[in-house]
Amino acid sequence: MAHPVATEPVHRLVPSPAGRIHLVEQGRGPLVLLVHGFPESWYSWRHQLPVLAAAGYRAVAVDVRGYGRSSRPEGADAYRLLELVEDNVAVVRALGEESAVIVGHDWGSTIAATSALVRPEVFRAVGLLSVAYAPPGGPRPSEVFAGTPGPEEFYVSYFQQPGRAEAEIEPDVRGWLAGFYAALSADTMPGADAPDPHFVAPGGTLRERFPSGRRPGWLGEAELDVYAAEFERTGLTGALGRYRAMDRDWADLAPYNGAPVTCPSLFVGGALDASTTWLADAIAAYPTTLPALHGSHLLDGCGHWIQQERPETVNRLLTEWLAALPS
């Protein structure tokens, strides 16, 4: 007898190298694994889970290690990309599957691309939201970010020292998150003449440059409550571990320097997102770096939180792409 499709999201904990991974699944069919970015959670995919389920897929959104109800190992080494890839593999196996399509946003995009790069036998296709794929290699990341011209400090460098960003964020997690989300959302991001919120002035904080008292349209009180409650409970150190492992990734992934991701792929970015501007050369290189690319889409008037700012468009692009994949 056929099993009924799960019409409501189901929460589960599964074992992984991290200890445990919390996930939320909905629907039955081919597995689609959804991986969030910073500073988010499985909840970032709340608009995608029911749509993918209705389209005939087993949609599964994880809390990346360091977030939510997933384990939070200590030390930056625990947040290397190769560790996160193995968490994803463990999720696929724990769900009784042999393979999955993987889709990521922000850091999740990098995690998804790396998963497809190093474990192609498990991840048969990859969708990338907001952050473009750039093959491993090049200069050491800490040297790149430390070399930003001028006296201001790039946010990635600001995040490196354990405890520093936490001291800014954790006294008022809810307010900080609201400002961070607003700074990168199309309808509330600072204008071109305002100080760039991706940089910190000498002796300053990131929060000083967040929009004051403005909330993006996609972020109501209820949504902010969910995010804030998670980070008030867990703190930010696990989430920030991803940034603090970047130099370790550079060494770990040296065998893959310059390598393309050859499985079927999709890219969707926001035209107003700084990530798409910074990585414009990477997007232009897709014919070489993503040779099986199905489509590359920049959504006009859209910022960084793409699947929450433009859920209908992202859902349409994802379901059309998934339907076109070989079974």
Residue 25 is encoded by which pair of tokens? 């699944």
Is 106 one of the catalytic residues? yes
- Per domain, the residue ranges of the chain are 10-324
Residue 56 is encoded by which pair of tokens? 């005939």
pLDDT number for residue 214: 85
| 8 A C-beta contact, residue 33 and residue 91 | yes
Residue 70 is encoded by which pair of tokens? 């997933």
Is 22 one of the catalytic residues? no
- In the chain, what's the furthest Cα-to-Cα distance? 66
Contacts of 99 (CB under 8 A, 6+ apart): 31, 92, 121, 122, 123, 124
In tens digits, the chain (327 residues) has pLDDT values of 344 445 789 999 999 999 999 999 999 999 999 999 999 999 999 999 999 999 999 999 999 999 999 999 999 999 999 999 999 999 999 999 999 999 999 999 999 999 999 999 999 999 999 999 999 998 888 888 776 777 899 999 999 999 999 999 999 999 999 999 999 999 999 988 888 999 999 999 999 999 988 899 999 999 999 999 999 999 999 999 999 999 999 999 999 999 999 999 999 999 999 999 999 999 999 999 999 999 999 999 999 999 999 999 999 999 999 999 987
pLDDT number for residue 6: 52
Tell me how crowded residue 180 is: count the other CB atoms within 10 A of its CB.
20
Residue 73 is encoded by which pair of tokens? 């190992």
- CA 195/CA 192 separation, integer angstroms: 8
Torsion angles phi and psi, residue 145, rounded to 5: -75, -30
| 8 A C-beta contact, residue 280 and residue 198 | no
pLDDT number for residue 4: 44
CATH number of the structural domain 10-324: 3.40.50.1820
* Active-site position among 36, 198, 297, 304: 304
* Active-site position among 63, 87, 106, 273: 106
pLDDT number for residue 310: 98
pLDDT number for residue 292: 98
pLDDT number for residue 35: 98
